[in-house]
Each structure stands twice: as C-alpha cells, then as structure tokens.
Amino acid sequence: MTAVEVLRSDAPLAEVFAALRDADQDGLRFARVFRDTFDQLYDGQHTGRFRWEQLNKTEKTHFGTLIEINLRREFSDVIDDGDLLDYRICGFDIDCKYSQKMGGWMLPPECFDQLLIVAQASDDEGCWSVGLVRATQENRRTSENRDRKSGLNEHGRSQIVWLHYRSALPPNILLHLDDSIIKSILAKTSGQQRINELLRRVTNMRIGRNTIATLAQQADYMKRLRDNGGARGTLRAEGYLIPGGDYDVHKKVARDLGAMVPERGEVVSLRVTAASSTDEHAVALDGALWRLAGSDELVTMPAPRLPDTRNTRDS
C-alpha cells in the first residue's frame, strides 16, 4: 500500500499522524530534539567531544532511551505516558523505536500489532527521520532473536508513513571543518581563544550553542560571546559582526546583509566592511552603511555594534 492507502486503512495511525504533523509541520521541534540529544551525549562542555565515534558503546545504545524521553518532554502537548507502551497519543498506545541504522528497529512482543514511532538520525550525515507504522504480522520478520524480538521486514519498511524523511539536523559545525582548521582552533590554550579562532575561521555559517560549550569547556560558556571581554568585543576590532539567533534584531541584520540567519541558540560570524548606497544588501548600523566583505577582501576598519537587544528576545 502507498502512504495514502495506509492512512486510509488505519484510522488510529492516521489520527496520530495528523496530531504529530499539526504539532510540528516544519519539523523544527523534532530536529531540535535530535540535535539536543546528540549534544547531551557528547557533553562537550565537560568532555570536549563532538563526534559520534567518540562515544562508547553503552552511550550509543543509550541514545534511543534519551530520544524517547526527550520527545515525550518536547511534545508534552501531544504525547502522554502510555499504559502498556512508551506513549499515548490521541488515546492510542504507541511505542517509540530508534535505530542508528535505517530499518534496524528491534520490536519486542509487547509492541506486536501496535502502532510504532520509528526514528533514525545521523550526525555525520546531518539528517534525521521520523515515521509511523503498525507492527502487524505482515510487516514483521518471521524470525525472532533469543529475546523474542523481531523487526520490520522489507514490506513493513515500505509501509512506514514518514512525518519527515532525511530532514536536516541543526548543524554540528565542528564535524564539517577541515582538519587544519580544527587543529588551529584546538591549539589555542584557553576557551576564549578557541572561540575567537572559531569565529575568525568559520564565517557565514550557523554555529550552535553546544559548539561554543565544547570549545569553551566552562560553566559560563555563553559569556565568551559577549562584548565586554568576549568575542564580540575582541573581534569587532578585526571587522567581525556576530549576530545571535535569540534576538529578532540580530536575525534581521543577518538577513538584510544577505547572510546565513542564525536560529535560536546559534550565532553566525560575519566579516563586514563599509558599503555605499548602491551596494546590494547594504545595512545601516552605527550611523554608517555596511556589507559583507569578500573572502579575500582586506578589512581595515572595526565592525559596527549590533542593535540593542534589550527586550528584543526572539518570539
């Protein structure tokens, strides 16, 4: 059956699908849960880790449990605790299954014939997927392991109705930098110096809060971004503007410059230079016009101050 046919033939599945889709039509809430769960396991603030392979086997196995807990917390407006299974949605019990490998979900006997949320994510590939399927006999493998667990067969995998399939994770920027850049950043001896070097070397890209925590390895890691002694003050003298995604006025500056726009909990580092009124994406700040500087362009003047953020936190 096609996804449309599955929804038509299974009213409870269709009702749960509609409830989850309405709760997160663009997938931003799901994406944030996956990003936060990876970062929770890395615990970069205390360990400096930012790669999946840096986790031990037990930690990797624990990811599925954390996803189950964190989805329940994020979607408390839709998801209740289940009676027999993990969740209760629209009055129906439903189990939550995560696998590092697409299609690798293990199904214990108690979820046979029940509704399932199936999830998969890869930080290396920067994507995640969430779908719904019913663990019918037709959809399951005939073989079971010693714990009587089974899995979806090829037909069952084809019957998954995807809420979101291979959608983009919020970026883990450290995963995608050249080794030479990583080495230059990590060679710095203090958290503040590492963050400054990151913001010098990585421009016009979204940088998440956990990246700042991983490099700072300090309790007050977000302080490393501030004007007074932090990166914004130090790098302004070198022509860098650092808008933050927690503020509408900062996001507007990035958008008007034609730059990458940070989301909540993110920053972007932008090299700017003086602009003229005829320049595309010229932005007025501190009484002058500014534009993004070219990658090889010499910047000889300090960047302007960002707009006042008092009482302007992103709504």
- For the chain, the average pLDDT equals 93
CA 92, CA 179: separation in Å to the nearest integer?
Answer: 49
In this prediction, residue 311 carries a pLDDT of 55
Identify the band that residue 143 occupies on the pLDDT scale cut at 50, 70 and 90: confident
Alpha carbons within 13 A on the beta-carbon side of 210:
22
In this prediction, residue 98 carries a pLDDT of 97
Give the mean pLDDT of 147-176.
93
Specify the pTM.
0.87
In this prediction, residue 119 carries a pLDDT of 98
The larger pLDDT score, comparing residue 60 to residue 142, is at 60
DSSP 229-296: SSHHHHHHTTTEE--BTTBHHHHHHHHHTTPPPP-TTEE--EEEEE--TTSTT-EEETTEEEEEPPTT
Identify the band that residue 313 occupies on the pLDDT scale cut at 50, 70 and 90: low
Looking at the chain, the whole-number percentage of residues with pLDDT higher than 90 is 84
**How many degrees, rounded to 5, is the angle at CA 160 between CA 159 and CA 163?**
145
- The pLDDT tens digits of the residues spanning 236-253 come to 999 999 999 999 999 999
Quick check: 314 pLDDT over 80? no
CA 177, CA 136: separation in Å to the nearest integer?
Answer: 44
- The pLDDT tens digits of the residues spanning 21-44 come to 999 999 999 999 999 999 999 999
Q: Are 55 and 41 in contact (CB under 8 A)?
A: yes
Give the mean pLDDT of 89-108.
95
- The pLDDT tens digits of the residues spanning 250-278 come to 999 999 999 999 998 899 999 999 999 89
DSSP code, position 108: -
In this prediction, residue 310 carries a pLDDT of 65
- The pLDDT tens digits of the residues spanning 110-131 come to 999 999 999 999 999 999 999 9
pLDDT winner (highest mean) among 68-72, 214-218, 295-299: 68-72
What residue ranges define each of the domains in the chain, with the CATH number in brackets?
Answer: 3-168 (3.40.600.10), 173-292 (1.10.10.10)
Quick check: 162 pLDDT over 90? yes
- The pLDDT tens digits of the residues spanning 204-233 come to 999 999 999 999 998 888 888 888 888 999
Give the mean pLDDT of 151-169.
96
- Rg (Cα) of the chain, in Å, rounded? 23
In this prediction, residue 315 carries a pLDDT of 42
How many angstroms separate the Cα of 143 from the Cα of each of 96, 106, 151, 158?
21, 12, 8, 19
In this prediction, residue 43 carries a pLDDT of 95
In this prediction, residue 194 carries a pLDDT of 95
CB pairs under 8 A, 24+ apart, for 197-203?
198/269, 199/231, 199/235, 199/240, 199/242, 199/267, 199/269, 200/235, 200/238, 200/240, 200/269, 201/177, 202/173, 202/177, 202/269, 203/240, 203/268, 203/269, 203/270, 203/271
